[in-house]
Amino acid sequence: MAIIKKFRIKSYKENKPLLAVKDISMSFEKRQILKDLSFEIHKGSIVGMLGPNGVGKSTIINLVCGLISPDKGDIFIRGQKVNDIPIFTRTSKYNLSVCPQYGGYLFDLSTLDNLKAVGEIRVKNQRARSERIEYLISRFQLEEVRDIKARLLSGGQKRRLTIAMALLGEPELLLLDEPFSFLDIKSIINIQEIIVKLQTENRITCVITDHQISALLKICDESFVLAEGKVIAKGTPSELIKNPEAQSAYFGDSFKIN
Ligand SMILES: Nc1ncnc2c1ncn2[C@@H]1O[C@H](COP(=O)(O)OP(=O)(O)OP(=O)(O)O)[C@@H](O)[C@H]1O
Ligand SMILES: [Mg+2]
């Protein structure tokens, strides 16, 4: 497989965090999922959020974008507390985009019309919007299915459409929930390249969760592992896979990046 990223960005560590999650707790029907969870994401970094099924990764993404509210704790973006800012205002004011784990598109609209629908909201200038849509259709190899209803696309094509929709407004903070699921090998490499290019050229900040660990760790500057509602380990990919707590909670002891 091609080497996607030859370096890890270190300079971002000097900056104030773009996103800070502080002492968040969250329960669903008396089942506590997150327990005083805290972490920080620095501008311009690509960060992996790892952990076993059901640990709360998608819940964290929903909390950050404002789809749900925490029982306790605060969320800060650019140093401002955003707990009380509703999802639409939060995503537009802070230029935040999300690619959800499931869905994220309108079933009965074509590929093109899904992109147009979100483009109307995210890109005000009509010419810039059309150019951005055409660029994304080409970059995500969606030409063949541009006029096909989204519900009729293959699993990988649906995934590519949702990621393309998340990139329409050239976000400052991008949250990707399992972007590599359903994707073939070439599509994974294509998306890795797109994310790294966004980082190097646009200083986009990206939080990604995925169980395709090798694909994910190849593009991450650092990652953290969640277990029992908290961050139990963090570091660069090579540090993390050797970390005994991370091995015990998630990787196992024989995992290697291939
Ligand atoms: N709205 C809800 N009501 C009740 N339980 C919920 C709700 N949302 C999430 N949960 C529960 O919270 C836990 C965490 O779910 P979440 O989807 O965040 O896990 P995840 O880490 O993203 O897992 P996966 O790797 O399988 O995607 C699960 O046990 C889930 O059943
Ligand atoms: Mg999930």
Query: Per the domain annotation, does 73 fall within a domain?
Result: yes
Distance 128 CA to ligand 2 centre (A): 33
Query: Per the domain annotation, does 166 fall within a domain?
Result: no
Per-residue pLDDT of 151-191, as tens digits, reads: 999 999 999 999 999 999 889 999 999 999 989 999 899 88
Whose CA is closest to atom 26 on ligand 1?
53
Whose CA is closest to atom 2 on ligand 1?
28
Centre a 10 Å sphere on the Cβ of residue 149 and count the other Cβ atoms it contains: 16
pLDDT score recorded for residue 218: 93
Q: Are strands 230-235 and 173-177 parallel, antiparallel or unpaired?
A: unpaired
Domain count, the chain: 1
Per-residue pLDDT of 197-227, as tens digits, reads: 889 888 899 999 999 999 999 999 999 999 9
Phi, psi of 76 (to 5 degrees): -120, 135
For residue 59 and ligand 1, the question of a CB distance below 6 A is answered with yes
Q: Is pLDDT at 6 greater than 90 in this prediction?
A: no
Distance 54 CA to ligand 1 centre (A): 5
CA distances from 146 to 73, 111, 124, 138, 243 (A): 43, 5, 22, 10, 45
Per-residue pLDDT of 32-79, as tens digits, reads: 999 999 999 999 999 999 999 999 999 999 999 999 999 999 999 999
Whose CA is closest to atom 10 on ligand 1?
28
pLDDT score recorded for residue 1: 41
Query: Per the domain annotation, does 37 fall within a domain?
Result: yes
For residue 49 and ligand 1, the question of a CB distance below 6 A is answered with no
Q: Is pLDDT at 11 greater than 80 in this prediction?
A: no
Are 192 and 219 in contact by the 8 Å Cβ rule? The answer is yes
For residue 58 and ligand 1, the question of a CB distance below 6 A is answered with yes
Query: Per the domain annotation, does 145 fall within a domain?
Result: no
Atom of ligand 1 nearest to the CA of 68: 1
Q: What is the CATH number of the domain that holds 250?
A: 3.40.50.300
Whose CA is closest to atom 19 on ligand 1?
54
Residue 59 lies in domain: 1-83+203-258
pLDDT score recorded for residue 217: 93
